[in-house]
Amino acid sequence: MSGLEDLLVRTKSENRAALIGYLPAGFPSKKECISAIKAMVDGGVDAIEIGYPYSDPVMDGPVIQAAAEQSLSNGTGASDVFDILEATVKLGVPAVVMTYWNPIERYGVNEFAAEIAKRGGSGVITPDLTIEESNGWKDACAKAGINRIYVVAPSTSGERLPSVASQCSGFVYAASLMGVTGTRGAVSGNASELVSRIKKETNTPVAVGLGVSNGAQAREVAQYADGVIVGSAFIKKIQEAKNFKKALKDLTSLAEELAKGVRR
């Protein structure tokens, strides 16, 4: 059982959802990225999703795109992603990498999965990889013993949903709406319905992403999901802070607010 799976068993026993924070590797810099993740963990984030910065992010909104561009301008590459993954796990929380398929294929499918395991990572989220095209990836993940996490959207048909859900381990990533990442004034009403649909098909935990930015929204999603994923809201704290010291305080404060939300 991976660290992520252990966490989700524990949070279920505590009758709450897990709080999962997202940050691109190498943002705002390679060194500061680790400090930012530590601030999130200190505030109560249960697990970290590390973004592999990519030049053509089809699922990412403007906030994450800007952060990824800054990361790429810092020269962040595969070795940096793996280093940050390892450093995150050493903070005492499970961590996964979220990446588009191209970097995995470029690095080597088996080699990528093996490196995730070697660095202590729990798994990989692949937003643009379909189950029909992932036979090699499934084999690589099974060999490495890491979780495969696919994304399910409100548009996923009733015929297709069981097939996708059955291939996920760790958790099923439920995209709460059709669109890109970003903070929003309210969580999409599609989220609850989508989680309900997924839970009819699998016992694998379901985590909801896209749109959660404050404690009230985290509390709302935690009432029906096993995990609450927050990304853009954390990134904006860094982008809008007058200096990095202030950003760290803001990250911890937001994490504390969100952590209270998932525990109410």
Amino acid 61: pLDDT? 77
CATH of the domain at 59: 3.20.20.70
How far is C-alpha 140 from the chain's CA centre? 20
Q: How many domains does the structure of the chain reveal? A: 1
Amino acid 180: pLDDT? 42
Amino acid 86: pLDDT? 98
Please say if the pLDDT value at position 177 is more than 60.
Answer: no
- Can you tell me the distance from the alpha carbon of 14 to that of 177, in angstroms, rounded to the nearest whole number? 28
**Residue the block writes with tokens 């060999």:** 143
Q: How many CB atoms lie within 10 A of CB 117?
A: 17
Please say if the pLDDT value at position 188 is more than 80.
Answer: no
When pLDDT is averaged across residues 226-232 and rounded to a whole number, the result is 96
Please say if the pLDDT value at position 199 is more than 50.
Answer: yes
Query: For the segment 124-173, what is each residue's pLDDT rounded down to a tens digit?
Result: 999 999 999 999 999 999 999 999 999 999 989 999 999 999 999 999 99
Query: For the segment 74-120, what is each residue's pLDDT rounded down to a tens digit?
Result: 999 999 999 999 999 999 999 999 999 999 999 999 999 999 999 99
Helix (H, G, I), strand (E, B) or coil at 217: helix
> Catalytic positions, please?
49, 60
Query: For the segment 8-41, what is each residue's pLDDT rounded down to a tens digit?
Result: 999 999 999 999 999 999 999 999 999 999 999 9
Query: For the segment 44-82, what is each residue's pLDDT rounded down to a tens digit?
Result: 999 999 999 988 766 677 898 999 999 999 999 999 999
Please say if the pLDDT value at position 3 is more than 80.
Answer: yes
- Can you tell me the distance from the alpha carbon of 244 to that of 28, in angstroms, rounded to the nearest whole number? 9
Question: What φ, ψ does residue 77 adopt, rounded to 5°?
Answer: -130, -170
The band of 210, judged by pLDDT with boundaries at 50, 70 and 90, is confident
Amino acid 58: pLDDT? 65
**How far, in Å, are 133, 169, 175 from residue 166 at the CA level?**
15, 8, 17
206: containing domain:
3-263
Residue type, 172: V
Amino acid 179: pLDDT? 43
- Can you tell me the distance from the alpha carbon of 36 to that of 34, in angstroms, rounded to the nearest whole number? 5
When pLDDT is averaged across residues 198-205 and rounded to a whole number, the result is 97
Amino acid 183: pLDDT? 43
Per the prediction, the chain carries an average pLDDT of 93
Percent of the chain exceeding pLDDT 90 equals: 86
